[in-house]
Amino acid sequence: MFINNGKAAKFMVDSKIKAVHDDDLMNLLISLNIYDDVLNNNCTCYFCGAQINIDNLASIFPHDNEIMFCCDFKKCVFNLISLRNKEDSTHAYA
Ligand SMILES: [Zn+2]
């Protein structure tokens, strides 16, 4: 029973974090008018080209005056962080 309780507690914590994250992201998608695009599978990951959906969308970011998408592959999230760090340092030197 101890194992079952542990799993249930972990599941609740995970789903709470996921829910908060999703709400913020959903609101952002709606405010940018790209929520329908994601729902209609019209979006791909900027880094690996995977089709973006609500479940695998990790982040969105502006690039060349367009909204780009990043999926939740670790490699893509890492690339996104590197890209942001690069842009931050560019701004720092500008
Ligand atoms: Zn990707």
Each residue's pLDDT tens digit, 47-62: 999 999 989 999 998 8
Task: Confirm if 52 and 43 have CB atoms less than 8 A apart.
Answer: yes
Find the 50 Cα to ligand 1 centroid distance in Å: 6
Q: Which residues lie closer than 8 Å to 32 by C-beta, 6 or more apart?
A: 60, 67
Which pTM value belongs to this model?
A: 0.69
Measure 8 CA to ligand 1 centroid, in angstroms. 30
Each residue's pLDDT tens digit, 60-80: 988 888 999 999 999 999 999
CA 28–ligand 1 middle distance (angstroms): 19
Residue 64, classed as helix, strand or coil, is: coil
